Amino acid sequence: MRVRDLTITDRQLAILRRECNVGGELEGACQVLCGSSNLHEDPWADRHFCMEPELRLTVHRPEPLPSDRVRAGNVSVSWDMDCYVSLMRKAREEGLHPGICHSHPRAGSPFSHQDDGNEDHLRDLLQRRNRGGEQVLISILFRGETRVDARVWRSAGSPQTVPVRVLGRELVECSQPSHVREVRADSSFLQRQALAVGSDTVEQLQRFRIGVVGCGGTGSAVVTLLARLGVGRLLLIDPDTVAETNLNRLHGSTRQDVVDRKLKVQVLKGWVDSMGLGTRVAVCQAPLANAVTAKLLRSCDVVFGCTDDHLGRLILNRMAYFYLLPVIDMGLSIDPNCQDRPAQVAGRVTILRPGNTCLLCRGVISPRRAREQGLRHKRPEEYGRQEKEGYIAGSDTPTPAVGTFTTETATAAVNELLAAVAGLRGPKGWASERTIRYDLDRCRPTGCTPRDGCSLCYSSDNWGIGDVKPFLDLGGL
Ligand SMILES: [Zn+2]
Ligand SMILES: [Zn+2]
């Protein structure tokens, strides 16, 4: 099984760098436990083509070594074997992968022959202990002050080099993922963009696989903008067909689509295909509440949340932390003019990632509405009965929407992605949340701290844990 990449948060990276004495004269070491997602389906592959399963790794938690168990020199570092034995045991018990990290003070020194021999021995030990397990041994090397290399051992003598992604205030590819290079031949339409944000950013966008959940007013604008930015692959998820009342804001749609009862995802795929810019579009018309659908998003590098659905948001909210998968969630709320006060029009863009406050703690998701939508999805008759008896709080009355506001909110969301990859705002990177008040002519970051004990954003217990049973530790999905 091939390993596609290894993702680590900026906080985890800071711990590993400190433990490995990066910047010092002596080498240093640390251990780490990683989660993984097992990808068996490639949303962009031809249906007849069976994908070779791929593994994506995410750092779950650093396991620092007690200082009296480490022996560090200028050109070598070693630590007590029982620390590694205990790491293997934890990995087996928790369904995780063990990893070791060390540093070379000089940037010019790659993995040494001695590293090769030691790691192959540790790999052998892992496979003997956890016989029949699918575990891999991960090795991370800090070279000099800045460089990070990673590789994975599955079989004797032949480690696989793995690209490293750092998720924090920015979204950084630490090492060039050569095997997923997808720079397209005809990229001249991106020339002016390269002048603005640099060709590295243009190439990173071309490699990106981006999920868009919800293809309505904001979603269709996001899809249009991402295709013009040159994003390589898009995965569109939405179960709905185009309705007459969507035509004021749904980019790419026509009145004929309403007559033909076309799915929104099909309309948008046709729209992007007709641009001829080379973006590959995969679609899924099943709701996100199907675990199979949600699992497809594990193939993505970034996800845009453009749904009004509380259950859908609840799922994206968990995926961001479990899979270190950044989610750019957005919403628009319009309170029309009343007699005693003017209208309030607010667009919201929230970046979900470890280190930021989640949507539950921000009060964006109503757990009750999410439960009700879950019931409607799983047991529609029971939902109907409860609705009749007045137990259902939410209603599906149409909410106000204007195409200019949905489009501007979508633009603000896509600009956050640019802030994260192109460094447009310097080290500040992307905002945690940004609110645009169209009635007040104001756009500002909005802060919010995690609620005590939140298992997603307050504690790091689920960060990077990857695949668990049940999926996302949510029964009933
Ligand atoms: Zn070494
Ligand atoms: Zn939270």
Q: For each of the chain's 477 residues, which pLDDT tens digit applies?
A: 899 999 999 999 999 999 999 999 999 999 999 999 999 989 998 765 667 889 999 999 999 999 999 999 999 999 999 999 999 999 999 999 999 999 999 988 999 999 999 999 999 999 998 876 689 999 999 999 999 999 999 988 889 999 999 999 999 988 755 544 555 657 899 999 999 999 999 999 999 999 999 999 999 999 999 999 999 999 999 999 999 999 999 999 999 999 999 999 999 999 999 999 999 999 999 999 999 999 999 999 999 999 999 999 999 999 999 999 999 999 999 998 777 778 899 999 999 999 999 999 999 999 999 998 888 888 999 988 988 888 887 666 788 999 999 999 999 999 999 999 998 888 889 999 999 999 998 998 888 999 999 999 999 999 999 999 999 999 766
Ion ligand 1 — residues with CB under 5 Å?
112, 115
Report CA(464)–ligand 2 centroid distance (Å).
Answer: 15
The reported pTM is 0.95
Report CA(8)–ligand 1 centroid distance (Å).
Answer: 20
Report CA(442)–ligand 2 centroid distance (Å).
Answer: 26
Ion ligand 2 — residues with CB under 5 Å?
358, 361, 450, 454, 456-457
Report CA(319)–ligand 2 centroid distance (Å).
Answer: 13
Nearest to 420 by CA among 219, 246, 173, 175: 173
How far is Cα 97 from Cα 134, in angstroms, rounded to an integer? 9
Report CA(464)–ligand 1 centroid distance (Å).
Answer: 26
Q: Which ligand is nearest to the CA of 112?
A: 1
Q: Which ligand is nearest to the CA of 109?
A: 1
CATH 3.40.50.720 for domain 195-366+397-457, yes or no, is: yes
Q: Which ligand is nearest to the CA of 149?
A: 1
Q: Which ligand is nearest to the CA of 113?
A: 1
Q: Which ligand is nearest to the CA of 318?
A: 2
Report CA(457)–ligand 2 centroid distance (Å).
Answer: 4
Report CA(418)–ligand 2 centroid distance (Å).
Answer: 25
Q: Which ligand is nearest to the CA of 457?
A: 2
Three-state SS letters, 132-196: CCCCCEEEEEEECCCEEEEEEECCCCCCEECCEEEECCCEEECCCCHHHCCCCCCCHHHHHHHHH
How far is Cα 206 from Cα 177, in angstroms, rounded to an integer? 12
How far is Cα 41 from Cα 38, in angstroms, rounded to an integer? 9
How open is the CA angle 140-90-127, to the nearest 5 degrees? 70
Name the CA radius of gyration of the chain, rounded: 24
Report CA(343)–ligand 2 centroid distance (Å).
Answer: 30
Q: Where are the domains of the chain?
A: 2-179, 195-366+397-457
The CATH number fitting domain 2-179, selected from 3.40.140.10, 3.30.1360.30, 3.10.20.90, 1.10.10.1100: 3.40.140.10
Report CA(253)–ligand 2 centroid distance (Å).
Answer: 36
Beta-bridge mates of residue 37? 56
Query: Does residue 470 have a cis peptide bond before it, meaning omega lies within 30 degrees of 0?
Result: yes
Instruction: Give the length of the chain.
Output: 477
Report CA(151)–ligand 1 centroid distance (Å).
Answer: 13
Report CA(133)–ligand 2 centroid distance (Å).
Answer: 33
Contacts of 383 (CB under 8 A, 6+ apart): 372, 375, 376, 392
